[in-house]
A and B are shown apart, each in its own frame.
Chain A
Amino acid sequence: MIANNMKHALFCAVITLVISYPILGFNLEARGVDITISGASTFTLVMVALAALVVFAFQLFRDHIMSALAAIPKPGSDSHKEPMEENRRAQIQSWILTGILVLALFWPFFVSRGSVDLATLVLIYVMLALGLNVVVGLAGLLDLGYVAFYAVGAYTFALLSDYAGFSFWMSLPVGALLAALFGLVLGFPVLRLRGDYLAIVTLGFGEIIRILLNNWTSLTGGPNGIGGIPEPTLFGMEFGRRVKEEGNTSFHETFGIAYSGEDKVIFLYLISLVLAVFTALVIRRFMRMPVGRAWEALREDEIAARSLGLSRTAVKLSAFTIGAFFAGFAGTVFASKQGFISPESFVFLESAIILAIVVLGGMGSQLGVILAAVAVTILPELAREFSEYRMLIFGAAMVLMMVWRPQGLIPMRRIHIELKKQE
Chain B
Amino acid sequence: MAVLSPQVVFTLFGLQITDTVVSTWVMMLLIIILAIIIKQFKPDLGEMIVESINSIVSSVMDEDKDVTKYLPILGTLGVFLLVANIFGIFPRMVSPTANINTTISLSIIVFFAVHVYGIKEKGLWGYLKDFANPIFILPLEIVSQFSRTLSLAVRLFGNILSTDLIVAIVFALIPFIAPLPLAALGMLTGVLQAYIFLVLASLYIASAVEIQEVEQERRELKKTIKESS
A and B interact physically = no
B interface residues with partner A (beta carbon < 8 Å): none
